[in-house]
Amino acid sequence: MKINETNRVGAINSYQRNVEAGRTEEKKSRRKDEVSISSEALEMLQRSSDPERAQKIQALKQQVASGNYQVDAGKLADKLLPFFKS
């Protein structure tokens, strides 16, 4: 009965080499995170700093909080209709 087969030792060593190779590839593949802002997002950011728009939003928030905000179902349907047609 053979206890130490030479084939098994080689298999363990090749497994160890694969693990070590994976670690070095992992270190190489790490990149720094980058953020890019599209022109559309920059445009939206500029619109949000408009004082008239901020005032309108504040008035809508107050109406919703007090329960006085009424939704015009006709306008809502007109805006949603193109999405359902396509």
Residue of higher predicted confidence among 31 and 60: 60
pTM exceeds 0.75 for this model: no
pLDDT tops 60 at residue 66: yes
Q: Which residue has the tokens 């990149």?
A: 31
Q: Which residue has the tokens 């700093």?
A: 49
69 with 63: CB under 8 angstroms?
yes
- Mean pLDDT calculated for residue range 58-73: 94
DSSP string, 32-74: -------HHHHHHHHHHT-HHHHHHHHHHHHHHHHT-----HH
Average pLDDT, the chain: 80
> What is the per-residue pLDDT across 2-39, written as a single tens digit (0 to 9) for each?
666 665 555 556 667 777 776 665 566 677 889 999 99
Express as a percent the part of the chain with pLDDT over 70. Answer: 71
Distances (CA, A) of 24 to 7, 16, 33: 26, 13, 20
